[in-house]
Structure 1
Amino acid sequence: MIKELVKDIENELIDLRRYFHENPEKSWEEFNTQKVIMGYLDNLGIPYIKSTKTGVIATIKSAKESDKVIGIRADIDALPMTELSSCTYRSKNEGVMHACGHDAHITILLGVAKVLSRIKNELEVNVRLIFQPAEEFIEDSGAAYMKDEKLVLECDRIIALHIWSQMEIGYASLRKGPIMAAADTFDIFINGKGGHGALPHQAIDPIIAGSELLSSIQRIVSREVNPQDTSVISVTSFHSGTTSNVIPDSAHLMGTTRTFNNQLRDDYPKILERVIEGVGDATRTEMKLEYHLGTPALINDEDCVETGLKAAEKVFGKDKLIEYEKQMGGEDFAKYKNPKCLLFLGGGFKKIDKRFPQHNPYFDIDETALGLGVEYFVQYVMEYGTEV
């Protein structure tokens, strides 16, 4: 029955996804997206509230008077980048693109709303549809706010999916434990003493100090972190100086840290502070660290995954469920306090040369994945209803 209901809306799903792809909006600016979501829910008679500026939370109540609530979350923002694809539904908003698949996530959750509204009398649990803004805004992401909403805190668990262009259509991955990395960023400001390039002894060179610091930071991973812990500390920007014969008085380094171990994530700022202090003393410079918390590691809850595997096997087939490699990218779904799990949904074209990675200006998906995503979520709700 679920497959038939999803099949009935396949063309509608494609139209919805293409609309959102053509009309992307950056983090915290998803006002039109919010309006379209609310209009769709109005047509289905599903009640909702606005949340977190541009978000929406809708509720489908069980006819069985259940006190159990399952949340399903979709992120709705796009990236500040220019689409280079020549597809007929390319972005109409110059400099903004759905290059991570959030257009598909919105569409899938709206499809879930439609299917569940048709079978709501059969639901054993209440369902909360969470349309979350600003997932891509690392320093100030939507989940940081939405996680504390009363309607979200009431959820006994929350599930999500992420479409993945490098995984072939028809395949999916749902594994226990960490699946995406903690992703933080940092700035390091170095103050020295400017001078003439020909008289370095009269200056305190922030470039030399920054170079020494960069090398010391790279030794953290190789000599201070357990080799069994995946760890990345990357300095990705180094700015200093304006001309060839002047030693500048300052330098600015930027970078990111990644790990699947949330305890190591907590230790990163303290380790960096210690290294910075030591190099600063050795080079006679003043160094200041500004560490910006992004997302913790996303760790899939075991019980949530167990339910999901039962649902996914019915949707994809056991032979199409794989253990896809863990990803070093961050995902703010990790910020939700509820037990949770996220499934990677294959959206890659069968022809490998058509598969462009997330955040690529040519990114696109096989739209067959939309129906599979709807079917997985609906099947998960039904499975969960048999367990509680």
Structure 2
Amino acid sequence: MNIKDMTLELEDELVSMRRHFHMYPEVSWDEYNTQKEIMRCLDQIGVPYIKAVKTGVIATIKGKQSSDKTIGIRADIDALPVQELSGVKFQSKNKGCMHACGHDTHITILLGTAKILAKIKDELTVTVKLIFQPAEEFIEDSGAAYMKNEAEVLECDRLIALHIWSKIEAGYASLRYGPVMSAADTFDIHIKGKGGHGALPYQTIDPITAGCELVEAIQRLVSREISALEPAVISITSFNSGTTSNVIPGTAHLMGTARTFDDDLRNAYPQMLKRVAQGVAKSTRTSIEVDYHMGPPPMINSDECVDTGRKSGEKVFGKDHLIEHELQMGGEDFAKYENPKCLLLLGGGWPKESRQYPQHSPYFDINESVLKLGVEYFVQYVLEYQEEE
């Protein structure tokens, strides 16, 4: 059995499949057509499955020799509310929606894995669950929070996943021990003042000036209250207030995100924000409320899962091309699964850095030559895992 040759034979099909999913993206919890296409592909391969968590799918590959020892392989399937500007021929046909984080490649790689594992299933001595998970991008209510409790997921002795990464050159992959991605929480800040005429600010309580002061104060939290040796980010990402030029509005709404690898700091973030907000509210005569939303925890790879992954990765990418990429402040809801697990970052970047647009960019695109490498890694991992006691 030559897995590399089998994945190479799939390459054209993988590219075509990825382009189809790229053209028809769907946002979190609305992946109905994506779900139908996944099920159609599984039917074609002859792999049984169930619907799970509204728009998700869990498929099972179990051969004549397969034991109850079970490994789950997870792919996220949702897209982002981003208008695509990449200019590729297979650009999104759904206005205001784009696979700007590479989940189209994750679906494709897992379906390619299903095709090869189905061909060799009677040689497998483990059971494989293929987990197509919705709503990874919905931080406040992500799909993993529900999928992790599905009976077929709880049966898995370990889980593996990969994430395409545009800042790692194609042909390379990163598999770290320990932390990979940070916790990813979000917050809303509501400021209530007193509106009035723009020419008579003394008759108002201005929520905009309060908001500006609050933004400045929040930026000092990381620089003055958190060790410079501790990776930490608090970003204000939205500031909405007012509708015209001669009226001071009565309210303002700010949104943001907080990131860290440290659980103690993460638990401290809500009170830190509320304390600063109370101080600004007092000095500006406004009323300020902070609503903090816990997202995925830090993504921490399990050592035993990485051990198997590195043996598999060296066979697929080569020892020199299996690297430890820098820690990422982006979040990943794969962290919510409670099974032992590991996440590999699959290099999908172009040789020219100018073409390496980051995740969530409207220009995001990946080097499709790596699709077969993702399939090969997953299949090789299963084969390595079944050889372990």
In structure 2, the partner of 1:342 is 343
CA offset digits 1:45-98 (Å, max 9, x no partner): 211100111110011124334221111000111222222233332222232222
* 4+ aligned runs moved over 6 Å, structure 1: none
TM-score normalized by the length of structure 1:
0.94
State the number of aligned residues: 388
Residues 197, 366 of structure 1: CA spacing in aligned structure 2 closer, same or farther, 3 A cutoff? closer
Q: Which amino acid aligns with 1:135?
A: E
In structure 1, the partner of 2:230 is 229
CA offset digits 1:229-272 (Å, max 9, x no partner): 11111122223344555443322222111112233222211221
Residue 142 (structure 1) shift: 1.3
Q: Does 1:166 align with 2:167?
A: yes
Residues 236, 360 of structure 1: CA spacing in aligned structure 2 closer, same or farther, 3 A cutoff? closer
SS of the residue aligned with 1:99?
coil
In structure 1, the partner of 2:188 is 187
Residues 81, 214 of structure 1: CA spacing in aligned structure 2 closer, same or farther, 3 A cutoff? closer
In structure 2, the partner of 1:284 is 285
CA distance in 2, matches of 1:143, 1:317: 32
SS of the residue aligned with 2:363?
coil
Residue 196 (structure 1) shift: 4.7
In structure 1, the partner of 2:240 is 239
Residue 308 (structure 1) shift: 0.5
In structure 2, the partner of 1:177 is 178
CA distance in 2, matches of 1:195, 1:362: 42
TM-score normalized by the length of structure 2:
0.94
CA distance in 1, matches of 2:369, 2:347: 10
In structure 2, the partner of 1:84 is 85
SS of the residue aligned with 2:295?
strand
Structure 1 unaligned residues grouped into runs of 5+: none
SS of the residue aligned with 1:294?
coil
CA distance in 2, matches of 1:273, 1:90: 43
SS of the residue aligned with 1:276?
helix
Structure 2 unaligned residues grouped into runs of 5+: none
Q: Is the 8 A contact 2:66 2:124 kept in 1?
A: no
CA offset digits 1:155-211 (Å, max 9, x no partner): 111110011122111100000121112111111112223345555444433333323
Aligned pairs (5 A) from 1:1-388: 1-197=2-198, 199-244=200-245, 246-388=247-389
SS of the residue aligned with 1:83?
coil
CA distance in 2, matches of 1:93, 1:305: 38
Q: Over the residues paired in the alignment, what is the CA RMSD in angstroms?
A: 1.9
Q: Which amino acid aligns with 1:78?
A: A
CA distance in 2, matches of 1:276, 1:102: 37
CA distance in 1, matches of 2:3, 2:161: 19
CA distance in 1, matches of 2:81, 2:248: 35
What percentage of aligned pairs have identical amino acids? 66
CA distance in 1, matches of 2:251, 2:96: 33
Residues 197, 349 of structure 1: CA spacing in aligned structure 2 closer, same or farther, 3 A cutoff? closer
SS of the residue aligned with 1:306?
helix
CA offset digits 1:98-121 (Å, max 9, x no partner): 222111111110111111111112
Q: Which amino acid aligns with 2:380?
A: Q
Residue 150 (structure 1) shift: 0.9
